[in-house]
Amino acid sequence: MKKAYADELVALGFMLLCFYFLYLTRGFSEISARFPRVVLVAIIVLCVLFVLLERIKAFFASKRLDHPAKRKLKKNAFTQEHVMVLGAIALYLIMTTRLGYYLASILYLIFTTFYLGFRQRRILLGLAFGLTLFVFLFFQLLLGLRLPSGVLF
């Protein structure tokens, strides 16, 4: 059995999530389902392209023994960072239903960027609050869409 590479497994995981979300859009009205379906199909197409390009790159890298990509392919496996980020995503999905989208997004962005090595607090907090504020202004105020609310918001 061939060793599966972490990036490709993550892409396949995203594809499975997208297929699940496509399945959930069956209950939406046709107009409401149009945009989520377009976005989900675009993500699926991009994931398929990514996996194909990675396989092509691995094929050509295996043909050249001195190519640096070959050494990278041998080291590419699930690490603690992959597991922690996937766990953070799962926790984020759970927190979204409990705490609400906005608070869960701020906590997720702060944790993930800090865990992945970004330590400048002002920029980290500005990024988390700025992106959440942008989502609020764009989706709630401009488009009039309600995002999941929780205990506080």
Higher pLDDT, 3 or 102: 102
SS3 1: coil
The pLDDT, as a whole number, for residue 31 is 87
The residue among 46, 51, 54, 49 whose CA lies nearest residue 18 is 46
Sequence ranges of the domains in the chain = 1-78, 79-153
Helix, strand, coil % over all residues of the chain, rounded to 5 = 80, 0, 20
Is residue 74's pLDDT more than 50?
A: no
pLDDT tens track for 80-138? 777 888 888 889 888 888 888 889 999 999 998 888 888 888 888 999 999 999 988 88
What distance lies between CA 41 and its chain's CA centroid? 15
For the stretch 22-51, pLDDT in tens is 988 888 888 888 888 888 998 999 889 888
120 Cβ contact partners less than 8 Å away, ≥ 6 residues apart: none
pTM exceeds cut of 0.75:
no
The rounded distance, in Å, linking the Cα atoms of 114 and 149 is 25
